[in-house]
Amino acid sequence: MNRTEIMAQIVGILEDVAEISPDEVTEDSVLMDDLDLSSMEILTIVADLEETFGIRIPEKELRSFVTISDLIDYLSTRVG
């Protein structure tokens, strides 16, 4: 799966979990600041991503997800 496809999945989950319009999301978007996501929403998004991609993301990785790009980088290494 390439970056564009992973991005599309993330955008869909953001829209579903936090009602964020796809137009608002770029790779540089900062999860908590730019997208105004709460920690609970981030965990929900991660849980959704795990289910979507059929993987388990270790808890120690969670704090490294600052931007959308961080998420894509991580997922690319696991499912790319």
Partner 1 sequence: MTETMTRKSEYLLQGAMYFYRAKNIYCRYQYTLQDPVDPALLQQAVDAALDQAPYFKMKLVREKREIYLAENDQPFTICPGHTLQAMPEETGGYLFNVSWEGATVFFDWYHFVADGHGVTRFLTRILMEYCNRRYGAGFDCPPLGSAPAYDMEALLAHDPTAGEEGLPENEPVPVQAGQLRRSILRLDKQSLVDAALDCGVKPVSALLGLLSLALQPFVDRDKVEYCYSTDTRRTLDVPEAFYNCVASFRHGVDAGPGVRLGDIAADIDQNLRASLQPQAQLTQMAKMMGWVCRVDALKAPLRIKQRVFSMGEAMGNFPADFWISYLGDPLGPDRDYPPALNDYIRDFEVWVPPDGASVGFEVASLHGQLICCIQDKLGRTGLADAIRAAMEREGVRVLGTTDVGPALPYQE
One residue of 21, 28, 60, 77 binding partner 1 per CB under 8 A? 60
Q: Whole-angstrom Cα distance, residue 6 to residue 71?
A: 9
Establish if 32 lies at the interface with partner 1 (CB under 8 A).
yes
Cβ(11)–Cβ(30) under 8 Å? no
Using DSSP, state whether 20 is helix, strand or coil: coil
Residue in the structure block whose two tokens are 């993301």:
57
Q: How far is the CB of 16 from partner 1 (least distance, A)?
A: 10
Q: How far is the CB of 34 from partner 1 (least distance, A)?
A: 14
79 burial (CB, 10 Å; 0-12 / 13-18 / 19+) is: middle
Establish if 42 lies at the interface with partner 1 (CB under 8 A).
yes
Q: How far is the CB of 32 from partner 1 (least distance, A)?
A: 6
Instruction: Tell me which residues touch partner 1 (CB under 8 A).
Output: 17, 32, 38-40, 42-44, 46-48, 50-51, 58-60, 62-63
